[in-house]
Amino acid sequence: MASGSKKNNHTAAAEIQPPELLTETAEPAQEPIPEEAEPAAQSADNPAAVPEAVSEEPAAPQPKAAAPAKRERDSGIDLVKICAMYFVLSLHFCLYGGFYGFAMAEKSVAVISGFRMLSYECVPLFLIISGFLMGNAKPTAKHYIKITPIVVNSMIIAAITIAFKILVLQEHWEFYVWAESVYHLQQPGYGWYVNMFIPLYLMMPFINAAYRGMQTKKAKIGALIVLIFVANLAISVNRFRIIQHPEEKVAIGFTPNYFGSIWPFAYYWTGLMIAEYRPRIKKWILLPVLVLLLTGEVLLDRFTTDFGWDQGVNFTNEDFLNIFVAGTFFLLLYDIKIRNKIVRGILKAVASLSMTVYLLSYIGDCIYVRHFLEGENTPAIFVQRYFKIIPLHFLLTVLASFPVFYLGKLISWLIMKPLLWLTSLPERRKQKSAAAS
Average pLDDT in the 305-329 region?
81
Hey, what amino acid is at 55? S
Average pLDDT in the 317-332 region?
93
pLDDT digits (tens, 9 = 90+) for 111-158: 888 889 999 999 999 999 999 999 999 999 999 999 999 999 999 999
Radius of gyration of the chain (CA): 25
Hey, what amino acid is at 178? W
* More confidently predicted of 236 and 126: 126
- For the stretch 401-406, contacts whose Cβ atoms lie closer than 8 Å and that sit 24 or more positions apart, written own/partner, are 401/353, 401/356, 401/357, 401/360, 402/353, 404/153, 404/156, 404/157, 404/160, 404/356, 404/360, 405/153, 405/352, 405/353, 405/356
Burial class of residue 423 in the structure, from the number of CB atoms within 10 Å of its CB (0-12 exposed, 13-18 middle, 19+ buried): middle
The pLDDT-based confidence of 256 (bands split at 50, 70, 90) is confident
Hey, what amino acid is at 158? A
Average pLDDT in the 52-60 region?
40
Average pLDDT over the chain, rounded to an integer: 82
The pLDDT-based confidence of 189 (bands split at 50, 70, 90) is confident
Residues 6+ apart with CB under 8 A from 98: 4, 373, 377, 382
Q: Where are the domains of the chain?
A: 71-432
The predicted pLDDT at position 248 comes to 66
Residues 145, 150, 156: CA angle, nearest 5 degrees: 120
